[in-house]
Structure 1
Amino acid sequence: MTVETLPLVSTLGVILAGGRSSRMGVDKSTLQLSGASFLEQAIKRFSELGISNYVISSNRIDGALTDRLPQIGPLGALDALMHRADRLVGVDSIVVVPIDMPLFPADGIKQLCEYGNEKQTSCYYQNHPMPFFIWLDACFAQILTKQIDAGILSVRALLEKLSAKELKYVNDQQRQNSFFNVNTPEQMQQIQSWLQN
């Protein structure tokens, strides 16, 4: 599917690939689907949107952004990013996509970016805290630090603190399966069977 390229030079893409993959048994970023790894597919979706500036959050992938604070999930990736000023030059927003949602389409990311950049606000999809878009206003780093210090590590709680807008998901293709998470070999088999039908 071809998606119209957006002028997203000031939006940084973040690929969350730092999970332990304990239930899967292998690093999920290396899983193959339709001839490409999950990581390759995530990078391709950003490329389709004109997002050439991206980081991979992982403690296992060479050159990736590593956590300063271990084992606190997606907020750990955001914390690490906020402490890398070199990666934030010219950046006013970030869009965060987990590695284990391989069916989430580029146009779904596009909707988040278009709304978030136009309104200069954080946003996500109704009933689905991931993927999500963060507008990097002056308060973001402080709010993130307070959440981590309080031990409140859920993405949904962070989005609520940011007064993020909840958007309706509009996508005709793979509507039912876009948000499907692959965490186990059985879920990998399920997703492969969907693509074969």
Structure 2
Amino acid sequence: MSDTKPVCVGLILAGGGSTRMGIDKSLLRREQQTMLTFSRSLLSTLGLDTHISGGRQGMADVTPQAGPLGGIYSSLKTLQSDALLVLPVDMPLLTPKLLHQLMDVGERLGVPVCYEDCYLPLYLPVNAGLRNYLDEVFAEGSQQPRSIKKMLSALGGKQLPLSDRQPLINANTPEEWQSAMALLAGGHDQQ
């Protein structure tokens, strides 16, 4: 067994239609930066090269409108890495500390890792098992659900407990966005 740390790449999922928000969520401004810039800075803080799936600036989806799993699948057609740290572009309270914990546990155990009942952000080892699973799910005529939850179950993923769930709030509507911005203005811990 090698003592070499796996090469992990950051992947921001920015391909959703933002229909409930009414505007592109990646362009929403969190303090002085867009959500896309904020997401990049989170991954940069961890020393990760960052790539974007979907949206105007990201890699095109192999299978259009296939949700987060489709973004992951599409990225694997282009990126070369041992692991992905995947986050959605709509989590304005996410912290580097939480992402670092996912990476630490994922690298140690060699399995996909997320937080309990929240499938993104996600540490995802890139291996033959993952590639085979996604190839089957996205095969023409496949009836398998395109679900991160199902993928985690199939690949023996681990869900970590988390007492403070506020950092995992994702803003899909203007009301959710305003609520998250109120928490941020109120000094929500951003470690």
Mapped pair 1:193 → 2:178:
no
- Please tell me the residue identity of whatever aligns with 1:20: G
1:26 has 2:23 as partner:
yes
**How many residues were matched structurally?**
180
| Runs of 4 or more consecutive aligned structure 1 residues displaced over 6 Å after TM superposition | none
Shift of 1:35: 1.2
What's the counterpart of residue 12 of structure 1? 9
CA contact (8 A) 1:8 1:49 kept: no
Aligned to 2:74: 80
**How is 1:14-163 mapped onto 2 (pairs within 5 angstroms)?**
14-51=11-48, 53-61=49-57, 64-84=58-78, 87-88=79-80, 91-148=81-138, 149-163=142-156
AA aligned opposite 2:59: L
Distance 1:123 1:76 in 2: 18
Q: Secondary structure at the match of 1:96?
A: strand
Give the 3-state SS of the residue equivalent to 2:172 in structure 1. Answer: coil
1:147 touches 1:158 (CA, 8 Å); kept in 2? no
Q: Give TM-score scaled by structure 1 length.
A: 0.86
Unaligned 5+ segments in structure 1 are: 1-6
Deviation at 1:137, TM superposition (A): 2.1
The structure 2 residue matched to 1:166, chosen from 159, 164, 167, is 159
AA matched with 1:36: Q
Contact kept? 2:111, 2:124, Cα under 8 Å: yes
- 1:78 Cα deviation (Å)? 1.6
Query: What is the RMSD of the two structures over their aligned residues, measured on CA atoms?
Result: 1.7
Structure 2 residue runs of 5 or longer lacking an equivalent are 187-191
1:34 partner letter: E
Please tell me whether the aligned partners of residues 93 and 184 of structure 2 are also in contact (alpha carbons under 8 angstroms). Answer: no
Identity of aligned residues (%): 30
Residue by residue over 1:43-64, the C-alpha shift from the partner in whole angstroms, topping out at 9 and shown as x without a partner, is 111111111x121011422xx2
Q: Which residue of 2 aligns with 1:4?
A: none
